[in-house]
Structure 1
Amino acid sequence: MQNIDTDQIIPAEYLTLVPSKPDEYEKLGSYALIGLPDDQYHTKFVKEGALKTEYPIIIGGENFGCGSSREHAPVALGAAGSQVVVSQSYARIFFRNCISTGELYPVETDVRLCDELTTGQEVTVDMEKDVLVNHATGKEYSLKPIGEAGPVIDAGGIFEFARRQGMIKTVAA
């Protein structure tokens, strides 16, 4: 699917949840991608009654994360247990929010993987080799390197990265 917008990722009615509160962070994750239309092509991302998804890797088409600038979108996906989104392209603000929050790795590919893979197929994303492997077929797909954004996401976001680099002083509580 293309043009998955932030309201489909986390509808506005759930933006009252505060991600810095652990119980609300988990609850936010349980609503991730709840705004997608119900049809025969859509599998519930987080099953009813669950807080986490079975899908640590999300495959999108073009313009993933378009719409508003809400940081809750990548936070909800991360809170649900996803680690990587692989898409042809991203809305710039969503891409930036993934990096600044440290919740998800937004990885790009030139291939429209949402037309080649189906929900539930076992795949692996190798961030060092920049490939996605479909275990059902053995086929490998090239991914674009995430570059300097990788260490920021690895650190848990821009503020934690800055602390670790000595750019921000850590104040003892």
Structure 2
Amino acid sequence: MQDNIRGRAYVLGDDVDTDQIIPAHYLTYNPAIPEERRMFGVYALSGVPAARAGLPEGRRPFVPEGGEPGEYRIVVGGRNFGCGSSREHAPLALDEAGVEAVIAESYARIFFRNSVNGGYLIPFETPTRLVGEIRTGDDVELDVREHRLTNHTTGRRYELSPLGDILPILEAGDIFAYARAAGTLK
């Protein structure tokens, strides 16, 4: 896990569900096969309605048609990010697209745990509504240890909620690496 993550932000609104993160018809790809696993990143966030894709203006696809993933490293969401089904493919898709962290006001618990347990991305919670404060394409930097987001485009800084009990799991890489290091899994 990196202490600092800097890159472009991609902003979404409230209630982004797992079918918007990775639509069900792309779940035929096998994440155990590297060339198929990569496709999860290509189709990440392809189910988000156009008007809500890349706020505030919208109509900005996360991965342009025919393009490659990797333009955005931090996703900013509103309330109830990752709601819907329990598919673990949702945080995997964001990870394969180059996303290293999601910052949202709240999460569906299963998405939050899948993100942490699989070691896919860092799910920060924010007490401040950042949708409307951050714009898609802004140059942002996340200080993981200090739980602070800096928007280098505007010069504004935002305090995030501490990671708490999930930090050791993220540092280990995933829940299995954490359990092995703790001696509870062989």
5+ long unaligned stretches in structure 1: none
| Correspondence for 1:27 | 39
Q: How many Å apart are 1:8 and its aligned residue?
A: 0.2
Q: Which residue among 84, 93, 116 is the counterpart of 1:76?
A: 93
Q: How many Å apart are 1:144 and its aligned residue?
A: 0.4
Q: Tell whether 2:111 aligns with 1:99.
A: no
Q: Larger RCO: Structure 1 or Structure 2 (Cα < 8 Å, ≥ 6 residues apart)?
A: 2
What's the TM-score, normalizing by structure 1? 0.92
Q: How many Å apart are 1:112 and its aligned residue?
A: 1.1
- Per the alignment, in what secondary structure is the counterpart of residue 85 of structure 2? coil
- Per the alignment, in what secondary structure is the counterpart of residue 114 of structure 1? coil
Q: How many Å apart are 1:46 and its aligned residue?
A: 1.5
Contact 1:4 1:65 in 2 (8 A): yes
Q: Tell whether 2:158 aligns with 1:146.
A: no
Contact 1:99 1:153 in 2 (8 A): yes
| Correspondence for 2:174 | 157
Runs (4 or more) in structure 1 with deviation over 3 Å come to: none
Write the letter of the residue equivalent to 1:95. Answer: F
Q: How many Å apart are 1:159 and its aligned residue?
A: 1.2
- Per the alignment, in what secondary structure is the counterpart of residue 71 of structure 2? coil
Q: How many Å apart are 1:148 and its aligned residue?
A: 2.1
| CA deviation string 1:27-50 (max 9, x = no partner) | 111110000112351311112233
Residue identity over aligned pairs, in percent, reads 50
Q: How does 1:1-173 map to 2 (within 5 A)?
A: 1-39=13-51, 40-169=57-186
Moved more, 42-51 or 124-133: 42-51
What's the TM-score, normalizing by structure 2? 0.86
RMSD: 1.3
Instruction: Give aligned pairs, total.
Output: 169
5+ long unaligned stretches in structure 2: 1-12, 52-56
Tell me, in whole angstroms, the C-alpha distance in 2 between the residues paired with 1:94 and 1:131. 22
